[in-house]
Structure 1
Amino acid sequence: MRAVFLDADTLGNWQGKSHQPLADLTPLAECFDDFDVYGLTKPEEVLERCKDADVVITNKVVLDGETLKQLPQLKVIQLAATGMNNIDLEAAKELDIKCFNVADYSTFAVAQLTLQFMLNFATRACEHYQLTAQGAWQKSRMFTLTDFPIMELEGKTLALIGYGNIGKKVEQLAQAFGMKVIVANIPGRPMRDNQVTLDEALPQADFVSLHCPLTDETKDLLNKDFFHQMKSTAYVINTARGPVINEQDLAIALKNKVIAGAGLDVLSVEPPSLNNPLLASDIPNIAITPHIAWASHEAKQRLIQGMADNMKELS
């Protein structure tokens, strides 16, 4: 069986070219007779690289219906991810191409960054570190330097939007810090016993953390009206999907101090364009990381092993 991995660079360091721990593709490679690995693949390169493959592995490379129709040998698509929105699943089904993903490999890593955002907004550790790096503490007239307000997470309320495995892990970690956790219902979905409405959740939340998929119900869920229901002292955390937030509305809400801040690991377009409103220099109290929540070394190895396990089930 011949396989091709179209964008292995999305797993970070797999060729030993950086200081990151090496991502070991061996468990996956051992599943195939031939295994071709490409760092990245441009759209115009997809057909040539996939034409003789029984299995195509991709993270973000798009495989649309027209492409799949031109790959008669293809039997399996393995996503190096959980989300499958870059695959034409209906076309794959019609062509009898099996599609697999890997779920839950990054649960703790995503929850960890979620708490990191909340902790930094509570302690302003990054800002205080920068003061020291700039020499401000060295010039302080006393032993301490607290130029940014510090608060405790103890007793604060966290509203979760999305309550799958990641949401539940975030709840567990937040409760370890003494936080109160509530689960908000997504409008248009059935209300569960453990949920409250958004109208009830938002006015009492000190943090709102997103852990929901991108669907018709959740696209632009966080908009002008949403932010105006929140406390002016509250923060938004997004480690889910960028388009769940209306970015223009969030930029305006931050500039007008409608809410206190935002921690984002995802944006609507990635990599972002230079004119993304949230990247403007005048947006206050925003922390943006480049889609790293999933990317712990441990999570990458779980992902690789999960893909290998899927392939072993085929044999």
Structure 2
Amino acid sequence: MEKIVFLDKSAVAPGIRLPEPSFAHQWVEYDYTDSPQLVERAEEATIAVTCGAPLRAPELAQLPDLRMISVAMTGTDHVDLEYCREHGITVSHVPAYSPGTVAEHALGLLLALRRKILAYHRLLDSSEWYGEGWQTNVFLDHEIWDVHSSRIGIVGMGKIGQAMGKMAAGIGMDVVYYHPTRTDSDLPLVTFDELLETCDAISLHCPLTDSTRDMFTLAELRRMKKNAVIINTARGGVINEQDLAQALRSGDLAGAAIDIVEHEPLRPDEPLLELMDLPNFIMTPHVGWSSRQSMQGLMDRAIQNINQFINGTPTNLV
């Protein structure tokens, strides 16, 4: 009988139905499992399910029965893939399970940032608005910028990036793409220099790789247009967080909206949390993927990957 351990069930909303695997099994689940807890909790497990709980080589080496890891996400940077390849552990994931939902979140962040929606909400939630001369319907505390007719540069040309491009074009934006290694495409491509110097907004939809890590440091952020903003719903390490904080504090960057940080789970000492007082900064806790519909589809496919592995026809292999 297979023993399946779901390492971080709390990553899935309570209303999401987990399909029953189609074979005889023992199912064990935990709200969240960090590295020091992994060996004890996954002991004798043959299959592990993880959304974001880490599976690194030192712990994997102590789990000789583990044969398969089902990543209930697209990204797999929390799993030591090299160790798994060397030791015959099959790793599957769920590619592009709902590209539209992440793109919607990115577009929502962009609109909220440009229209200063949260800043004006906070204004009315404070005592500042009814000071001297409060009898007015005109509030000019925070500068608002139109989104239509502005140029957006999308980093990444996968399904999420293209979904974002279609949505942005639908509200009248001029859409261009940048890819760190590709130079030809049916999509309108620009160079990195053009991306930085001509785009009013940059939205990140790329994996974290050697070519994308620290793609945006203080130097790149300062090269962006003075009134430009950046949106990150991809991976935290694509933007250097300390440099982003400096650029926002100094006024070198007009605004940023972030749904992902470099070190997850989010920690109380996360440096970007120190920016929450800024009207030109929005941060959400990695929820861009988590609509009700996408989470259900995600878990359906993660369990399907397990069924297919047991049936000898594994799919969605990393």
Counterpart residue identity of residue 71, structure 2: L
Aligned length, in residue pairs: 304
Name the structure 2 match of 1:222. Answer: 216
Paired residue for 1:80? 72
Query: Please, which moves more after superposition, 122-131 or 169-178?
Result: 122-131
Q: 1:117 aligns with which of 94, 104, 109?
A: 109
The percent identity for this pair of structures is 32
Residue 154 of structure 2 corresponds to residue 153 of structure 1: no
How far apart are the structure 1 equivalents of 2:274 and 2:201? Answer: 21
- Alpha-carbon distance in 2 for matches of 1:293, 1:275: 19
2:90 to 72, 93, 98: 98
Partner in structure 2 of residue 244 of structure 1:
238
Q: In the alignment, which residue of structure 2 is the partner of 1:38?
A: 30
Q: C-alpha distance in 1, partners of 2:191/2:118?
A: 34
Partner of 2:191: 197
Q: 2:41 aligns with which of 49, 58, 70?
A: 49
Decide whether aligned partners of structure 1 residues 249 and 43 sit closer, same or farther in structure 2, where only a CA change above 3 A counts. Answer: closer
TM-score (normalised: structure 1): 0.88
Post-superposition offset of 1:146: 4.5
Q: 1:121 deviation in Å?
A: 2.1
* Counterpart-to-counterpart distance in 2, 1:10 and 1:223: 30
Structure 1 residues 276 and 143, CA gap change in structure 2 (3 angstroms): closer
Q: Compute the displacement of 1:31 (Å).
A: 5.2
Q: Are the counterparts in 1 of residues 156 and 205 from structure 2 also a CA contact under 8 Å?
A: yes
What is the Cα deviation at residue 199 of structure 1? 0.7
Q: Identify the residue that residue 274 of structure 2 maps to in structure 1.
A: 279
| Paired residue secondary structure (1:2) | strand
> Partner amino acid for 2:271?
N
In the alignment, residue 312 of structure 1 is paired with which amino acid? N
Post-superposition offset of 1:277: 5.5
Q: Is the 2:21–2:306 Cα contact (8 Å) retained in structure 1? A: no
Q: Is the 8 Å Cα contact of residues 197 and 225 (structure 2) preserved in structure 1?
A: yes
The partner residue of 1:162 within 141, 148, 156 is: 156
Aligned equivalent of 1:183, options 156, 177, 181: 177
Give me the CA root mean square deviation. 2.3
Q: Residues 67 and 248 of structure 1: is their aligned pair in 2 closer, same or farther, counting only changes over 3 Å?
A: closer
1:24 to 2:17 alignment:
yes
Structure 2 unpaired stretches of 5+: 312-318
CA distance in structure 1 between the partners assigned to 2:102 and 2:235 by the alignment = 12
**Which residue number corresponds to residue 3 of structure 1?**
4
Contact 2:203 2:230 in 1 (8 A): yes
Between 281-290 and 107-116, report the one with greater CA deviation: 281-290
**Greater relative contact order: 1 or 2 (C-alpha under 8 angstroms, separation 6 or more)?**
2
Q: Aligned in 2, Cα 1:124/1:75: closer, same or farther, shift over 3 Å?
A: same
Structure 2 equivalent of residue 18 of structure 1: none
Query: Per-residue displacement from partner, 1:140-191 (whole Å, max 9, x unpaired)?
Result: 42345453233321100000111111100000110111000011232xx231
Residue 304 (structure 1) aligned to one of 296, 299, 311: 299
The answer to whether the 8 Å contact 2:157/2:179 transfers is no
Change (3 A) 1:49 1:32: farther
The CA distance in 1 between the partners of 2:47 and 2:270, in whole Å, is 38
- Provide the C-alpha distance between the structure 2 equivalents of 1:9 and 1:118, rounded to a whole number of angstroms: 28
Aligned to 2:315: none
Residue 258 (structure 1) aligns with: 252
Match of 1:68? 60
* Closer, same or farther: CA 90–150 of 1 in aligned 2, 3 Å: closer
Contact 1:247–1:278 (CA under 8 A) maintained in structure 2: no
| Rounded Cα–Cα distance in structure 2 between residues aligned with 1:79 and 1:297 | 18
Q: Deviations over 1:68-118 (max 9, x none)?
A: 333232221111211112222222223222111111124122111111111
Whole-Å separation in 2 of the counterparts to 1:30 and 1:132: 54
Greater Cα shift, 45-54 or 198-207: 45-54
Question: For residues 47 and 269 of structure 1, what CA distance do their matches in structure 2 show?
Answer: 22
Bigger mean CA offset, 61-70 vs 255-264:
61-70
SS in 1 for 2:69: strand
Equivalent position SS for 2:44: coil
Task: Judge which range, 125-134 or 280-289, deviates more.
Answer: 280-289
- Distance (whole Å) between structure 1 residues aligned to residue 301 and residue 111 of structure 2: 31
